[in-house]
Structures are given as C-alpha cells and as structure tokens.
Structure 1
C-alpha cells in the first residue's frame, strides 16, 4: 500500500509540473510548434490547445494574418492604422533601380470613402478574413437597393447593387448569390460564373453568301452586347460567362 501511495503522489506531482510547463510554453510558443512536437500525445495536445485558445495570441490569429504587399489581391480586406479597408484594385510598379511598389485602391469599410496608398512588395499588412455566405436574390428597387434572403433563416439582407459591380445586371429571380461580410457589413457580392440569358437582338443569318462570318454581335436581356456564333438568333437562351461577359454555349431546352 505504501508503494502504491508513493506512486500516486509522484504521478500527481508530475502532473502538476506538466501543467506549469505547458502554461509557460503556451505563453511563448505558437500553436503549430506545440502541436507538431514529437512528444505531443492526444491528452497533452488537448491541454496545450485549451491553454492557447484563451491567450491573446489566439485572438490575433483568429482575426487574420500578416501578409506581404506582393500577396495582396483585389477583394482582400486589410487593416492599416486601425482602419479596415477593402482592396478594390492593385497596380504593380517598379521605378528605375528603386524597390518595387504596389499602388492600392482602397475603400474604407466604415465610411465607404475611397483612397489610394502605396505599399512595398515586402512590406507587411494585416489581412482580415471575412465571412462568405449564400443568399437568394429577391428583387431590386428603383433606388438600386437589392433585397436578398438567407435560405437557412429566411432573414432578409438589403445591399446596394454597387456591391455586385457590373454583375448586378445578371441578377435574376431566385438566383443564388454569395455575399462577403465583415462584422455584418456587406463588402462585395458575386453571381454564379455561368448564367442563362435570353438573346434580345441579333443579326439574322445571311443567306446566299459563301463566306459567312464566324461570329456576330448580339444584345442579351440585360443590355450587354456580346459576340455569338452566326447561327444564334433573337429569342434563344444562351449561357454567358459572367467574369468576361462571353458566350459559352446554347442553353439546354
């Protein structure tokens, strides 16, 4: 019995020391390093993870990550000087023997104001991750307000058609769209890559001419003009690529 009691006492002491050691590690080491340790068994990993998720480091990582200027892309959301910006456009430039720089066209998420800033390709900024959510398009009013519905909760979301850019003209009843949100604020929205549209106007096929042009100009229902094959006529349904407004194929009946 004395031998058993001695072992239990030693086990408790070892456990106490392990907890103190893990606490120290949690305050000084990234989660990835701790979890990749060769000595990390299941119980130890869970303990380490629990310690780290309550530390300030965890909150910072959850919000975003630092990225170099060369990796910033249109559509990203970044933080600079305590302001949150959506990146609208990125232009790379290299002047003489100087370092390469990037000109960013930004939109302040809070105020909506647009601004431009220069950033070194190796300079780092905080990238903020946003939530992407699916909605169903319902209608657009005369003031350009788009009404969307959450298919899960049936809650409605009102956004301005500007968040869709040019693709607002592709919106159709009950179309599934995606909206990027930051703290509940819509930043941008997108329509499906392929959309079925009806040809409103198209030059009729030319008869009696051997060398018929391969493509012709047609106007689709939203007012866009596109190139279509010569056999396409007004009233036909066609599939359009919304990224470059190009003809893909005839829509299946």
Structure 2
C-alpha cells in the first residue's frame, strides 16, 4: 500500500530499493529555501544495516503490513538458536538470536513475545516493554549521598549492569525497561 512520506512514523516498515526497511527515526525539515523533506534513518530487515535517506515530502513509499502472532519462548538450542511456540497454532519455530538483537539478554523462559513476519518469514521479535529481573550484586551505599538523583551500579541475573537507587540491595527483584535496560521500579511481591 502506497503512503505519503509525511505519514511515516518510527516503527513503520517500508519497501525501498527492493528491501524491507524499518523507520527508526524521521525528522521533517522545512528549510528556508527549497522544498520540505523527511530525513529518515532506516534499518534493513533482517540484516540490521542502517541507511540515512532523504525523501521529498511529495514522494510516496510502499508501506508493508507485517503479520503478527504471539509466541512463547521455550528454550535455547545450541549457541545461536531460540525455539518459540505459536500461542494459537502451537507450531514451534526456531529463530536466530540475531533477529532479536541486543534485547536477547532479557529473554526469559516462558516469556510471550510478538513475532512479526512477512510472507511467512519471521523478521522481527518484539519483547514486552518491561521485564522483571533479580539483582545478584549491588554496590554498597555511600554514606552522605542523599541527593535524590544518586544511583549505584548493580548486576542483574542476566549479566546486565544497571543503575539503581541506593535503597535497592542484592537479591531484590526489579522491573527493567527492555528498550534501554533502565531501572523502572521494584517488583511488586
């Protein structure tokens, strides 16, 4: 389906130069002289290569609708393969860790993720926005640090280093943002 470049938003998938691209970032620019344009940062799917492209606002591009299905993560197979089960059909699929990217550290057994595919080919795995992790090691509290913005380093059960408030200790379960690995809050119960 063709759409005008002005309608593009981050997360849209377009077909451009014979490949599928995800719009990571798009800045609409109206210079003092000359026509307006969209400065787009595109990421190739599934390769992950990036492209900075300038589109004239009068252009149209092919918007690609991806099929989406909930899949449950079952287990890792070998060094690089992950096995998921479709929640509706109970079919199992094996995907490479590369399809998830850096977010693979947040993947937990039994976690339900969204697998987006095009023509039956899985392209993107979308993790939940938040995940609960346990702190295995935390820096000691430094006396006298009472500033509201003081944080200390902690290591999670998945090996990720995060900044946490001083009152959070080793063994505490916390909620972490999967997009950037930032501390959100203590886990409830």
Q: Please tell me the TM-score bracket, short chain as reference.
A: 0.7 to 0.9
Map 1:223-238 to 2 at 5 A.
Answer: 223-238=159-174
Gaps of at least 5 residues in structure 2 are none
In the alignment, which residue of structure 2 is the partner of 1:183?
119
Which structure has more RCO (C-alpha within 8 Å, separation ≥ 6)? 2
Q: Point out the structure with max Rg over C-alpha.
A: 1
Map 1:208-219 to 2 at 5 A.
Answer: 209-212=143-146, 214-219=150-155
Q: CA RMSD in A?
A: 2.5
Q: Taking structure 1 as the reference length, what is the TM-score of the superposition? A: 0.64
Partner Cα separation in structure 2 for residue 160 and residue 88 of structure 1: 22
In the alignment, which residue of structure 1 is the partner of 2:27?
92
Partner Cα separation in structure 2 for residue 222 and residue 156 of structure 1: 25
Map 1:16-55 to 2 at 5 A.
Answer: none
In the alignment, which residue of structure 2 is the partner of 1:203?
139
Q: CA deviation at 1:236?
A: 1.4
Gaps of at least 5 residues in structure 1 are 1-64
Q: Taking structure 2 as the reference length, what is the TM-score of the superposition? A: 0.83
In the alignment, which residue of structure 2 is the partner of 1:78?
14
Q: 3-state DSSP class of the match of 1:218?
A: strand
Looking at secondary structure, tell me which structure has more helix per residue.
Answer: 1
Looking at secondary structure, tell me which structure has more strand per residue.
Answer: 2
Partner Cα separation in structure 2 for residue 137 and residue 251 of structure 1: 22
Partner Cα separation in structure 1 for residue 48 and residue 157 of structure 2: 33
Q: CA deviation at 1:98?
A: 2.9
Aligned counterpart for 1:105 among listed residues 33, 42, 46: 42
Partner Cα separation in structure 1 for residue 123 and residue 10 of structure 2: 12
Partner Cα separation in structure 2 for residue 77 and residue 141 of structure 1: 29
Q: CA deviation at 1:142?
A: 3.9
